Protein backbone atom coordinates (compact mmCIF):
# COMPACT_ATOMS: atom_id res chain seq x y z
CA UNK A 1 0.00 0.00 0.00
CA UNK A 2 1.38 3.41 -0.95
CA UNK A 3 1.43 6.42 1.37
CA UNK A 4 0.04 9.91 0.91
CA UNK A 5 1.94 12.53 2.93
CA UNK A 6 0.88 16.11 3.64
CA UNK A 7 3.11 18.59 5.45
CA UNK A 8 1.42 20.47 8.28
CA UNK A 9 2.08 22.74 11.25
CA UNK A 10 0.96 21.04 14.52
CA UNK A 11 0.37 24.48 16.10
CA UNK A 12 -2.11 25.47 13.40
CA UNK A 13 -5.57 24.10 14.36
CA UNK A 14 -6.90 24.85 10.90
CA UNK A 15 -4.29 22.57 9.36
CA UNK A 16 -5.06 19.84 11.89
CA UNK A 17 -8.78 19.91 11.09
CA UNK A 18 -7.94 20.09 7.38
CA UNK A 19 -5.99 16.83 7.80
CA UNK A 20 -9.11 15.38 9.43
CA UNK A 21 -11.22 16.55 6.49
CA UNK A 22 -8.82 14.95 4.06
CA UNK A 23 -8.98 11.75 6.13
CA UNK A 24 -12.80 11.80 5.93
CA UNK A 25 -12.78 12.14 2.13
CA UNK A 26 -10.18 9.43 1.60
CA UNK A 27 -12.08 7.13 3.96
CA UNK A 28 -15.07 7.50 1.61
CA UNK A 29 -12.89 6.44 -1.34
CA UNK A 30 -11.11 3.66 0.55
CA UNK A 31 -13.06 2.66 3.68
CA UNK A 32 -10.91 1.61 6.61
CA UNK A 33 -7.82 3.56 5.53
CA UNK A 34 -5.26 4.16 8.30
CA UNK A 35 -3.67 7.50 9.11
CA UNK A 36 -1.33 9.06 11.65
CA UNK A 37 0.92 12.06 12.33
CA UNK A 38 4.72 11.99 12.22
CA UNK A 39 6.13 14.70 14.51
CA UNK A 40 9.65 16.09 14.55
CA UNK A 41 10.84 16.53 18.14
CA UNK A 42 13.46 19.06 17.01
CA UNK A 43 11.05 21.20 14.96
CA UNK A 44 7.76 21.87 16.80
CA UNK A 45 6.21 23.62 13.77
CA UNK A 46 6.90 20.75 11.37
CA UNK A 47 4.99 17.47 10.97
CA UNK A 48 3.48 15.18 8.35
CA UNK A 49 0.02 13.67 8.12
CA UNK A 50 0.39 10.21 6.61
CA UNK A 51 -2.34 8.02 5.10
CA UNK A 52 -1.95 4.46 3.78
CA UNK A 53 -3.96 4.71 0.58
CA UNK A 54 -3.76 4.69 -3.20
CA UNK A 55 -5.69 7.96 -3.64
CA UNK A 56 -3.95 10.70 -5.64
CA UNK A 57 -4.14 14.03 -3.85
CA UNK A 58 -4.38 16.10 -7.02
CA UNK A 59 -7.30 14.01 -8.30
CA UNK A 60 -9.10 14.22 -4.96
CA UNK A 61 -8.77 18.02 -4.76
CA UNK A 62 -9.77 18.49 -8.40
CA UNK A 63 -12.86 16.37 -7.80
CA UNK A 64 -13.68 18.29 -4.61
CA UNK A 65 -13.35 21.75 -6.16
CA UNK A 66 -15.82 20.81 -8.90
CA UNK A 67 -18.60 20.06 -6.43
CA UNK A 68 -21.65 22.30 -6.26
CA UNK A 69 -22.64 22.85 -2.62
CA UNK A 70 -26.31 22.95 -1.74
CA UNK A 71 -27.90 24.76 1.21
CA UNK A 72 -30.34 22.95 3.48
CA UNK A 73 -33.33 24.29 5.36
CA UNK A 74 -32.98 25.00 9.07
CA UNK A 75 -34.46 27.29 11.72
CA UNK A 76 -31.64 29.80 11.42
CA UNK A 77 -30.85 32.95 9.48
CA UNK A 78 -29.69 32.55 5.91
CA UNK A 79 -26.06 33.41 6.63
CA UNK A 80 -25.50 30.21 8.64
CA UNK A 81 -27.63 27.63 6.83
CA UNK A 82 -26.25 24.05 6.75
CA UNK A 83 -24.59 22.93 3.52
CA UNK A 84 -24.41 19.64 1.66
CA UNK A 85 -21.71 18.41 -0.73
CA UNK A 86 -22.13 15.22 -2.77
CA UNK A 87 -18.91 13.24 -2.69
CA UNK A 88 -18.07 9.59 -3.26
CA UNK A 89 -21.72 8.65 -3.64
CA UNK A 90 -22.47 10.15 -0.21
CA UNK A 91 -24.05 13.37 0.97
CA UNK A 92 -21.67 15.30 3.25
CA UNK A 93 -23.89 17.33 5.56
CA UNK A 94 -21.95 20.25 7.08
CA UNK A 95 -23.54 22.04 10.02
CA UNK A 96 -20.80 21.98 12.72
CA UNK A 97 -21.32 25.69 13.32
CA UNK A 98 -24.87 25.02 14.64
CA UNK A 99 -26.07 23.45 17.87
CA UNK A 100 -27.77 20.04 17.97
CA UNK A 101 -31.19 21.63 17.37
CA UNK A 102 -29.98 23.56 14.32
CA UNK A 103 -31.48 26.76 15.66
CA UNK A 104 -28.44 28.64 16.94
CA UNK A 105 -24.78 29.13 16.08
CA UNK A 106 -22.12 27.80 18.46
CA UNK A 107 -18.85 29.42 19.47
CA UNK A 108 -16.68 27.86 16.76
CA UNK A 109 -18.61 29.73 14.04
CA UNK A 110 -16.28 32.63 13.17
CA UNK A 111 -17.69 34.45 10.14
CA UNK A 112 -20.03 37.42 10.38
CA UNK A 113 -21.35 40.46 8.50
CA UNK A 114 -22.32 39.79 4.91
CA UNK A 115 -20.43 36.50 4.72
CA UNK A 116 -22.74 33.49 4.43
CA UNK A 117 -22.25 29.76 4.08
CA UNK A 118 -23.30 30.09 0.44
CA UNK A 119 -20.58 32.67 -0.21
CA UNK A 120 -17.97 30.68 1.72
CA UNK A 121 -18.42 27.44 -0.22
CA UNK A 122 -19.07 29.02 -3.62
CA UNK A 123 -16.00 31.26 -3.40
CA UNK A 124 -13.53 28.97 -1.62
CA UNK A 125 -14.18 25.63 -3.37
CA UNK A 126 -13.08 26.84 -6.85
CA UNK A 127 -9.90 28.28 -5.30
CA UNK A 128 -8.70 24.90 -4.00
CA UNK A 129 -5.54 24.10 -5.99
CA UNK A 130 -5.45 20.52 -7.24
CA UNK A 131 -2.69 21.03 -9.80
CA UNK A 132 -0.05 19.01 -7.95
CA UNK A 133 0.17 15.80 -5.97
CA UNK A 134 2.80 17.33 -3.66
CA UNK A 135 2.34 17.61 0.09
CA UNK A 136 2.41 21.40 0.30
CA UNK A 137 -1.31 22.00 -0.25
CA UNK A 138 -1.68 23.89 3.03
CA UNK A 139 0.80 26.55 1.86
CA UNK A 140 -1.07 27.57 -1.28
CA UNK A 141 -2.62 30.98 -0.69
CA UNK A 142 -5.12 33.11 -2.60
CA UNK A 143 -6.46 36.60 -2.00
CA UNK A 144 -10.12 36.63 -0.96
CA UNK A 145 -12.48 38.06 1.65
CA UNK A 146 -14.10 34.67 2.30
CA UNK A 147 -12.83 32.45 5.10
CA UNK A 148 -14.24 30.23 7.84
CA UNK A 149 -11.68 31.65 10.26
CA UNK A 150 -9.96 28.35 11.07
CA UNK A 151 -6.45 29.26 9.88
CA UNK A 152 -4.66 31.75 12.19
CA UNK A 153 -2.43 32.87 9.29
CA UNK A 154 -5.46 34.51 7.68
CA UNK A 155 -6.31 36.49 10.82
CA UNK A 156 -5.00 39.86 9.66
CA UNK A 157 -4.02 42.47 12.18
CA UNK A 158 -4.58 46.15 11.39
CA UNK A 159 -1.05 46.88 12.67
CA UNK A 160 0.39 44.42 10.14
CA UNK A 161 -1.40 45.99 7.20
CA UNK A 162 -1.46 49.61 8.38
CA UNK A 163 -5.21 49.54 7.78
CA UNK A 164 -8.18 47.21 8.10
CA UNK A 165 -8.78 45.05 4.98
CA UNK A 166 -12.35 44.46 6.17
CA UNK A 167 -13.15 48.15 6.63
CA UNK A 168 -11.67 49.02 3.23
CA UNK A 169 -13.24 45.99 1.52
CA UNK A 170 -9.87 44.54 0.49
CA UNK A 171 -8.98 40.88 0.03
CA UNK A 172 -6.50 39.24 2.42
CA UNK A 173 -4.30 36.16 2.09
CA UNK A 174 -6.35 33.01 2.60
CA UNK A 175 -5.50 29.31 2.33
CA UNK A 176 -8.47 27.71 0.49
CA UNK A 177 -7.45 24.06 0.92
CA UNK A 178 -7.13 24.55 4.68
CA UNK A 179 -10.45 26.39 4.94
CA UNK A 180 -12.45 23.90 2.85
CA UNK A 181 -10.90 20.70 4.19
CA UNK A 182 -11.19 21.95 7.78
CA UNK A 183 -14.86 22.75 7.16
CA UNK A 184 -15.29 19.06 6.28
CA UNK A 185 -13.13 17.77 9.12
CA UNK A 186 -14.90 19.79 11.81
CA UNK A 187 -18.14 17.93 11.10
CA UNK A 188 -16.83 14.71 12.69
CA UNK A 189 -13.83 16.12 14.57
CA UNK A 190 -15.39 18.78 16.77
CA UNK A 191 -12.89 20.09 19.35
CA UNK A 192 -13.28 19.33 23.02
CA UNK A 193 -13.79 22.00 25.65
CA UNK A 194 -11.20 21.97 28.43
CA UNK A 195 -11.02 25.62 29.36
CA UNK A 196 -9.58 26.26 25.93
CA UNK A 197 -10.38 24.20 22.86
CA UNK A 198 -8.09 21.24 22.24
CA UNK A 199 -7.00 18.64 19.70
CA UNK A 200 -4.57 15.71 19.82
CA UNK A 201 -2.30 14.41 17.07
CA UNK A 202 -2.16 10.61 17.25
CA UNK A 203 1.16 9.03 16.30
CA UNK A 204 0.22 5.44 15.40
CA UNK A 205 -1.85 4.19 12.41
CA UNK A 206 -5.58 4.28 13.25
CA UNK A 207 -8.85 4.22 11.24
CA UNK A 208 -11.11 7.27 11.04
CA UNK A 209 -13.82 5.74 13.23
CA UNK A 210 -11.31 5.56 16.12
CA UNK A 211 -9.59 8.90 15.58
CA UNK A 212 -12.88 10.81 15.75
CA UNK A 213 -12.78 10.07 19.48
CA UNK A 214 -9.03 9.84 20.04
CA UNK A 215 -8.30 13.40 18.88
CA UNK A 216 -10.63 14.66 21.61
CA UNK A 217 -9.85 12.25 24.43
CA UNK A 218 -6.74 10.07 23.92
CA UNK A 219 -6.62 6.89 25.96
CA UNK A 220 -3.81 6.25 28.43
CA UNK A 221 -0.62 5.06 26.79
CA UNK A 222 -1.52 6.20 23.27
CA UNK A 223 1.41 8.07 21.67
CA UNK A 224 0.02 11.49 20.89
CA UNK A 225 0.58 15.20 21.42
CA UNK A 226 -2.18 17.54 22.59
CA UNK A 227 -2.60 21.24 21.86
CA UNK A 228 -4.99 23.92 23.10
CA UNK A 229 -6.19 27.00 21.25
CA UNK A 230 -8.70 29.82 21.64
CA UNK A 231 -11.21 31.69 19.50
CA UNK A 232 -10.64 35.46 19.54
CA UNK A 233 -12.43 38.43 17.95
CA UNK A 234 -11.06 40.17 14.85
CA UNK A 235 -13.32 43.12 14.21
CA UNK A 236 -16.82 41.69 13.77
CA UNK A 237 -15.32 38.30 12.95
CA UNK A 238 -13.53 35.66 15.04
CA UNK A 239 -10.64 33.33 14.35
CA UNK A 240 -8.84 30.25 15.68
CA UNK A 241 -5.56 31.15 17.39
CA UNK A 242 -2.36 29.17 17.04
CA UNK A 243 -2.19 26.21 19.40
CA UNK A 244 0.06 25.68 22.40
CA UNK A 245 1.30 22.30 23.44
CA UNK A 246 -0.58 21.06 26.50
CA UNK A 247 1.50 20.43 29.62
CA UNK A 248 -0.97 17.80 30.88
CA UNK A 249 0.21 14.83 28.80
52-92: pLDDT as tens digits: 999 999 999 999 999 999 999 999 999 999 999 999 899 99
Whether residue 109 lies inside any domain: the answer is no
Whether residue 106 lies inside any domain: the answer is no
Q: If we measure between CA atoms, which residue out of 114, 112, 116, 136 comes closest to residue 61?
A: 136
Q: If we measure between CA atoms, which residue out of 122, 83, 115 comes closest to residue 237?
A: 115
Structural domain count, the chain: 1
Alpha carbons 231 and 241: distance in angstroms, whole number: 6
Whether residue 80 lies inside any domain: the answer is no
Residue 113, pLDDT > 70, answer yes
Alpha carbons 84 and 224: distance in angstroms, whole number: 32
Whether residue 9 lies inside any domain: the answer is yes
Whether residue 57 lies inside any domain: the answer is yes
The average confidence (pLDDT) of the chain is 90
Per-residue pLDDT band at 236 (split at 50, 70, 90): confident
Helix axes 57-65, 13-29, angle to 10 degrees: 90
Q: Which domain holds residue 127?
A: 3-65+115-245
pLDDT at residue 20 in the model? 98
Distances (CA, A) of 129 to 3, 178, 180, 189: 20, 11, 11, 24
> Residues 125-144: what's their mean pLDDT?
87
Residue 208, pLDDT > 90, answer yes
pLDDT at residue 69 in the model? 94
pLDDT at residue 159 in the model? 43
pLDDT at residue 131 in the model? 78
Per-residue pLDDT band at 162 (split at 50, 70, 90): very low
Whether residue 212 lies inside any domain: the answer is yes
Whether residue 89 lies inside any domain: the answer is no
pLDDT at residue 193 in the model? 63
Helices marked H in 2-136 — which ranges? 13-29, 57-65, 117-124
Residue 238, pLDDT > 90, answer yes
Beta strands 142-144 and 90-94 are unpaired
- Strand order of the β-sheet with 196-202 is 192-194, 196-202, 224-229, 244-245
> Residues 215-220: what's their mean pLDDT?
92
pLDDT at residue 168 in the model? 46
Q: Which long-range contacts (CB under 8 A, 24 or more apart) does 216-219 make?
A: 216/189, 216/190, 216/191, 216/192, 217/192
Q: What's the pTM value of the predicted model, to 2 decimals?
A: 0.92
Amino acid sequence: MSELRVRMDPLNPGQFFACCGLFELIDLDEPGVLAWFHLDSGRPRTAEFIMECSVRLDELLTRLRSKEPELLEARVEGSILPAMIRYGGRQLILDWWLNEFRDKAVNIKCWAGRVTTRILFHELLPLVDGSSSGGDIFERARMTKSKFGVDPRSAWNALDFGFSPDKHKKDAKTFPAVEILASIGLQSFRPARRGNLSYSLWRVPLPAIVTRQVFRSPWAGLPCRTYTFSILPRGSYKYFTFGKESKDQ
